[in-house]
Amino acid sequence: MLFVAPASAINGLAIVSGLGAFLVALESIVARGRMMALNKEIADLTSRVNQLERAEQRRLTLEIKASGRSPPRSDHHGPSPSHGGAT
């Protein structure tokens, strides 16, 4: 084991402590950069999914128009045979 004077040990400890704090700060900056890159990628992928959904909706609408059928309705008005309609 190496013995050093107390004054130089304190200076060494201060230097090592400063370097440790610098490394922690540097890692934080790197992690923030990675997080920003991931957020950008998520936003890009979300935009692409939305674009694909719109394209699929247009394709389906055109397909329905071409077949001469009316598009399916999401709201159902009027009685059905299973819910009290004409028997």
Per-residue model confidence as pLDDT tens digits over 6-43: 678 888 889 999 999 999 999 999 999 999 999 999 99
pLDDT score at 45:
98
Tell if the pTM clears 0.95, that is, is over it: no
Q: Domain limits of the chain?
A: 36-67
Q: In the numeric block, which tokens belong to residue 75?
A: 């709201």
pLDDT score at 2:
53
DSSP-derived 3-state class of residue 26: helix
pLDDT score at 69:
64
If you average pLDDT over residues 50-56, what whole number do you get? 97
- Alpha-carbon distance of 36 to 43, in angstroms, equals 11
Higher per-residue confidence, 68 vs 29: 29
